Structure 1
């Protein structure tokens, strides 16, 4: 079964809507509203409840992408809303886990600094998102974090902390470190891609700040996979 890009209809000509009111966008907003619930559970040391909230965040992130692709619900709003909600949620989740001393402080900086650099880079070069294709490393990175962070929460519960003489926490921490390494690599790749696109537009006499001249909708299966991951 195809998990990444699930629901993509090969050869189908997608319609990119300009309205906010699509099912995937509503799911994205509802998903983001779970973030304060997660923070509250972590603050109360309710790690098992926080675990299930993270599972719901990851599942609904997959669901809204599937709905967008399979039911032709792509939108210009969804192109920036979904990744923005994902990155904000990830920063808030990691900040909460660090602030309440569930995870070490280095985790927040490893997640936050690359995202901040990419945000400032895109703002300076393109006055917004550069509309880059989602890389394979970026997809695996996101999946890795969505698996590793809930496992780290489970490792703090009594049931799993001593499981197999501490093997479970070791596995969870190893997955987290691997996901963080992939996050840095993916961020460097996006940074390089953004500058390459900036130079390419300039060579063709296109002003990267004039988004209407190059950021045109591409209603295709490829766009569906890139825009609603």
Structure 2
């Protein structure tokens, strides 16, 4: 994620993102998207050890690109696109792959994907009104981190340690609740900025930060 992490975003909120493309954080973000696709193929093909390795590498890059973007002052407009795109792609690939393998229930897949559909529709409507996407929030990143931890744990524990598997599924449900909370906040922020402020000025130009 070339955009900074929640703490990093707060520190760099005053600096406008650049239009640069070929920055190191952006390259890491692009590599992360490739790793997610590779993980999905390995998971479906049954190469579990390699799949976990690809997922772990993607998770490390999730922290690394945000850290470097802040550290080197390389927060970019492209990074703001790659960040949520990579997170959404990861969610889709992981939950679908694990559900196909029977590791997680399909109702959990429905809950997670419904949230992404809701946010996607809100984003399309907002962009049609000239509102750009907002920054990722702490709650949203916490939810994503929770899914990073609980879903692979469920994968590792499946048909091995029943108690751990149940705990992982419960943890994934908690992360899913946070995921929806962040999604609703995201949609509400987009709706707020899509309408003119009371003084006649466009809220679309307000700082892109979710409350």
Q: Which category of TM-score, normalised to the shorter sequence, fits these structures?
A: 0.7 to 0.9
1:195 to 184, 191, 195: 191
Shift in Å at residue 197 of structure 1? 2.1
The answer (yes or no) to whether the contact 2:131–2:193 under 8 Å persists in 1 is no
Unmatched 5+ stretches in structure 2: none
Greater gyration radius: 1
Q: 2: CA distance between counterparts of 1:169 and 1:66?
A: 32
Alignment TM-score, normalising by the size of structure 1: 0.77
Q: Give the equivalent residue in structure 2 for 1:146.
A: 148
Which residue number in structure 2 is paired with residue 172 of structure 1? 168
Q: Hey, what does 1:211 align to over in structure 2?
A: none
The number of equivalent residue pairs is 206
- Asked if structure 2 preserves the Cα contact closer than 8 Å seen for 1:141 and 1:180, the reply is yes
Larger deviation: 196-205 or 90-99?
196-205
| Equivalent in the alignment of 2:97 | 96
User: Secondary structure, in 3 states, of the residue corresponding to 2:17?
Assistant: coil
Q: 1:172 to 1:11 in 2, by over 3 A?
A: closer
TM-score by length of 2: 0.83
Counterpart in the other structure of 2:178: 182
Runs of 4+ in structure 1 off by over 6 angstroms are none
- Of structures 1 and 2, the one scoring higher in RCO (CA 8 A, sep 6+) is 1
Q: What is the distance in 2 between the residues matched to 1:145 and 1:17? A: 30
Report which of the two has the higher share of helix: 2
SS in 2 for 1:132: coil
CA distance in 2, matches of 1:118, 1:87: 10
1:13 Cα offset (Å): 6.6
